[in-house]
Amino acid sequence: MNRCLSDLCTLLDLETLEVNLFRGQSRDLGGRSVYGGQVISQALVAATRTVDAQPPHSLHAYFLRPGDMEAPIVYEVDRVRDGRSFTTRRVQAIQHGQPILSLIASFQRPEAGFEHQLPMPPVPTPEQLGDQRQQRLAWLAAELARNPALPERIQYLFTREQAFEFAWIDPPNPFDPDVRAPQQGIWFRAAGQLPDDPLLHRCVLAYASDFNLAATALLPHARSWFSPDMIVASIDHALWFHRDVRVDDWLFYSMDTPTAQSVRGLSRGLIYDRDGRLVASAAQECLMRQIKPA
């Protein structure tokens, strides 16, 4: 386990302040505000701390305000319902006295029933794709040659150690985006072995599920997070857990974007394990507003 993954596990170990009240810290990942996946995963951890013997099977969250990376986040859990099969929790993430995220999560006791799933698309294995870090560093070097004033936070995004490893099927250059089909596929895994705790793996998956969904909605328009004429931010996020999962083994994230309109783009994702089992599904709407030069 590298330092960043160890730090992520620490971030998910929330401090208990009072019954139904928890506190988490934040990390600067190089963005303008707290990474949305962090707030989602910490909110899910807070909810799981109030539930017994029922793993989470879905969550739905709205991002309300940008998070302050310099301040802790307080998570307030509302025990909406405790049922024999399903349990529901509502979580408010609060900073400076205001909610920055509102999440509702549902939990279910394990139960046998009918099963089916869409098959995993035929794709190269992560081993066949190889280590793509050198390609990303080459893109960064080329961009620095064109733009020596590239903000340090963007350089940091490309060079920092990460809690996850990624392998793109056909990696787009975020500094020089081209028009692409409205879909992409990415292998990912935690950068080290995690403890054998199924709830931790689901919470870490919630953290990772926010990566690249909004970027998918930008592909057909030759834009990226780094395009200077774009304001991009997550609006909401939904995640469904279908089967037990280990996030420290390779998972394949198959994403598409069926529509964009009214400065909002919708992205969907199916997450498969190496054996082709569909372990989770995700959906997200993002703000993708083009701005005029000053």
The answer to whether residues 188 and 32 touch, using CB atoms and an 8 Å cutoff, is no
On average, the pLDDT of the chain sits at 94
The answer to whether residue 271 sits within a structural domain is yes
Give per-residue pLDDT as tens, 125-178: 999 998 888 888 899 999 999 999 888 888 888 888 889 999 999 999 999 999
The answer to whether residue 57 sits within a structural domain is yes
Q: Using 50, 70 and 90 to split pLDDT, how confident is the model at 294? A: low
Concatenated DSSP letters for 204-267? HHHHHTTTTHHHHHHGGGT--TT-TTEEEEEEEEEEEE-S---TTS-EEEEEEEEEEETTEEEE
* Whole-number Å distance between alpha carbons of 241 and 206: 9
Give yes or no: 284 in active site. Answer: yes
CATH number at residue 267: 2.40.160.210
The alpha carbon torsion through 148, 151, 152, 155 (nearest 10 deg) reads -70
Give the structural domain span for 244: 3-109+129-290
Q: Is the pTM of the predicted complex or chain greater than 0.85?
A: yes
Catalytic residue among 42, 95, 234, 267: 234
The count of domains in the chain is 1
The answer to whether residue 119 sits within a structural domain is no
pLDDT at 277 over 80: yes
SS3 122: coil
Mean pLDDT along residues 203-213: 96
* Whole-number Å distance between alpha carbons of 199 and 48: 8
Give per-residue pLDDT as tens, 52-72: 989 999 999 999 999 999 999
The answer to whether residue 116 sits within a structural domain is no
pLDDT at 242 over 90: yes
pLDDT at 293 over 80: no
User: What count of other Cβ atoms lies within 10 Å of the Cβ of residue 236?
Assistant: 18
The residue ranking higher by pLDDT, 203 or 228, is 203
The answer to whether residues 286 and 217 touch, using CB atoms and an 8 Å cutoff, is yes
pLDDT at 209 over 90: yes
* Whole-number Å distance between alpha carbons of 250 and 127: 10
Give per-residue pLDDT as tens, 19-47: 999 999 998 777 789 999 999 999 999 99
The answer to whether residues 5 and 163 touch, using CB atoms and an 8 Å cutoff, is yes
Give yes or no: 234 in active site. Answer: yes
Give yes or no: 281 in active site. Answer: no
Phi-psi region of 240 (alpha: psi -120 to 50; beta: other; left: phi over 0): beta
Please state the three-class secondary structure of 32-74 as a single string: CCCCHHHHHHHHHHHHHCCCCCCCEEEEEEEECCCCCCCCCEE
pLDDT of residue 130: 86
Catalytic residue among 54, 184, 210, 236: 210
The answer to whether residue 102 sits within a structural domain is yes
pLDDT at 87 over 70: yes
Catalytic residue among 38, 54, 224, 284: 284
* Whole-number Å distance between alpha carbons of 11 and 28: 12
Give per-residue pLDDT as tens, 68-86: 999 999 999 999 999 999 9
The answer to whether residue 124 sits within a structural domain is no
The answer to whether residues 69 and 26 touch, using CB atoms and an 8 Å cutoff, is yes
